[in-house]
Amino acid sequence: MSLETISENRSFGGVQGVYRHRSAATGTDMTFAVYLPPQAEDGPVPLLWYLSGLTCTHENAMTKAGAQQWAAEAGLALVFPDTSPRGEGVADDAAYDLGQGAGFYVNAAQAPWSPHFRMWDYVVEELPGLVLDAFPLDPAAQGITGHSMGGHGALTIAMTHPDRYRSVSAFAPIANPTESDWGRKQFTAYLGEDRAAWSAHDASLLMAMRGYPGEVLIDQGASDQFLDLLRPEALAHAMVARRQAGMFRMQPGYDHSYWFVQSFMRDHVLWHAERLA
């Protein structure tokens, strides 16, 4: 698969790159970013997938999350996918929480979304195959994290494929989308009216049904302006009921912004580095 280099910049002794390729999953050109720490010069390194939230591209977390410094220290690569297909002929919506920038990491089954919005296949199957082939990364040492919509994606993907993702964490995830307007609206549009199809993409329901074999780290701002949409209490209750190993931390005074993500990024990067070592 042809890979176009858009940019490569030195960062904390490593390289922050941005790349473009033609995606078979989405039928569009897709852009993503990879940070390789300096340790990658000596051989394959563990990798941490970072899934971004509503309205974001690959660039938001790459420039705002402050992850490269800690990834370089830990010898961990970072992969930042886009959040949806884009371009001419790709369906969109005037609302910020549906369409381009709001793929919700699902495979759409309904028109007009189904031809391109196959973000589950893209993030879980196609992009991993591409980056593992193109960069010095260890396929046996993969972790996944994300923010908001990306936290939803990280948790659902990890609990569905625990054999592939040896570590998982999330920042302010959309925790219970089947019971939230950040979920019901999008799942109806992408997946249809059958709520049984929605349950595979609800972290609280998956936690109750199967959990995760390792530890889970969740950070949630206690002053998050979207708490009613995120429904963190549903995930916390599911974790306690299941006696899930890990930590669910309510952080006083923090909102939903990248200032919150930056503040706890070191904790998350080192959490994954310890489990992927």
Query: Catalytic residue at 256?
Result: yes
- Catalytic pick from 201, 256, 268, 272? 256
Which position has the token pair 């089954």? 109
Query: Catalytic residue at 167?
Result: no
DSSP codes joined into one string, the chain: --EEEEEEEEETTEEEEEEEEE-TTTSSEEEEEEEE-GGGGGS-EEEEEEE--TT--HHHHHHHS--HHHHHHHT-EEEE--SS--STT----SSTTSBTTB-TTSB--STTTTTT-BHHHIIIIIHHHHHHHHS-EEEEEEEEEEBTHHHHHHHHHHHH-TTTEEEEEEES----GGGSHHHHHHHHHHH-S-HHHHGGG-HHHHHHHT--SS-EEEEEETT-TTHHHH-HHHHHHHHHHHT-SEEEEEETT--SSHHHHHHHHHHHHHHHHHHH-
Amino acid at 244: Q
Query: Catalytic residue at 82?
Result: no
- By DSSP bridging, strand 216-221 and strand 246-251 are parallel
- Catalytic pick from 152, 202, 224, 272? 224
Cis amide bond preceding 44, omega within 30: no
- Catalytic pick from 148, 167, 180, 204? 148
Q: Which residues are part of the catalytic machinery?
A: 148, 224, 256
